[in-house]
Amino acid sequence: MTGPRAVKPSFTLKELSRLLDVPVQGDDTTRIDALATLKRAGPGNLSFLANPRYARQLADCQASALILHPDLASTVNVPCLLSSSPYVTYARASQLFAAVPDSGGERGDETPVHASAVISGSATLGNNVRVGPQAVIESGAIIGEGSRIGAGCVVGRDCRLGDNVTLYANVTLYHGVSLGDRCIIHSGAVIGADGFGFAFDGQRSVKIAQLGAVTIGDDVEVGAGSCIDRGALDDTVIEDGVKIDNQVQIGHNCVVGAHTVICGCSALAGSTRIGRYCVIGGGVGITGHLSICDKVSVSAMSMVTRTIDQPGVYSSGTLLQESSLWKRNAVTLSKLSGLSKRVQKLEQNLPE
């Protein structure tokens, strides 16, 4: 049996104008088949300028049309989609040009649920749900309309998935996980595994059963290989619109506020609370049981060890230097404590 075919999107500028809610300047019958960078665009391509540093590339760009700020529209001789936020318009356009499967295989015999999938009789699948090869959907699970369960996925007992959720291949949802509408979970992600909870009795670590679950809101995206642990008692909560990059660890009982972005290889220890509209850079470590307020940005490779209660940009760590200079500075840094004590003694002996 053949798989679903990829349908290559194609739009006129008039259609794109309506779909993206931006005006057209120039020939709105121009047909667009793909997006491309300014440097590599050719006939049939739509490109964009979001960063002024690339403005010099406009002169040589071969795109059939451009997404531009209205202030730059007079500088080019090709049709334009005019946007006050070209990068956001490009982001929305990219969704239109993503390849989508058609409704059936080449012979029209593609079935929505692959024959090798294992689905409990007590699971509920909404309309237009697709389930890939070797996927497992356990008892009591509910899958919303239009959702896609990729090959080798496991949807555990009593999970709840909203409408138009996409699980790419080999995603694992433990029991009781809840996903809102339009969530995207990339391959290898594990949601709902036990939180890292143990009590030491003097000789050994005694496991604390993790009795909570994971609740994820609408429009959340979770990157490949990321792990979100279930709560010990209360749920781990990921609010609407959160974007989580690849290989991120979120510990038990964490709460991540709406529209926060967490970049790759960051780790949140248990019971961390992050506010709304935060940006956590790549490789950031956040120790547990602290809070970060709304609209905080933490620079890459920083270590957060205290609560942050004021919006702003925060950084830690040592910036990259030539190795010999770094070594000299490291030696100096190791002597600061002694130097500080000497300064204090000198200050005590100064006349008033």
Residue at 326 is within a domain: no
Query: Can you give the CATH number for the domain in which 80 is found?
Result: 3.40.1390.10
Query: How far is the CA of 257 from the CAs of 94, 194, 252, 293, 294, in angstroms?
Result: 26, 22, 15, 9, 8
Residues 211 and 68 in one domain: no
Residues 197 and 273 in one domain: yes
Residues 188 and 261 in one domain: yes
Residues 153 and 285 in one domain: yes
pLDDT of residue 108: 40
- Say how many domains are in the chain: 2
Residues 298 and 161 in one domain: yes
| Residue 93: pLDDT over 50 | yes
pLDDT of residue 6: 55
Tell me the per-residue pLDDT of 306-320, one tens digit each, with 9 for 90 and over: 999 999 999 998 788
Domain of residue 20 covers 6-101
Q: Which of 69, 114, 252, 289 is catalytic?
A: 252
- Assign 107 a pLDDT band (cuts: 50, 70, 90): very low
Partner residues linked to 93 by β-bridges: none
Q: What percent of the chain has pLDDT over 90?
A: 83
Residues 230 and 237: their CA atoms lie apart, in Å, by: 9
Tell me the per-residue pLDDT of 20-39, one tens digit each, with 9 for 90 and over: 999 999 999 999 999 999 99
Last residue of a domain, one of 42, 73, 101: 101
Residues 64 and 191 in one domain: no
Query: How far is the CA of 150 from the CAs of 108, 134, 137, in angstroms?
Result: 20, 9, 11
The answer to whether 114 is a known catalytic residue is no
CA angle 9, 147, 140 (to 5 degrees): 175
Query: Can you give the CATH number for the domain in which 182 is found?
Result: 2.160.10.10
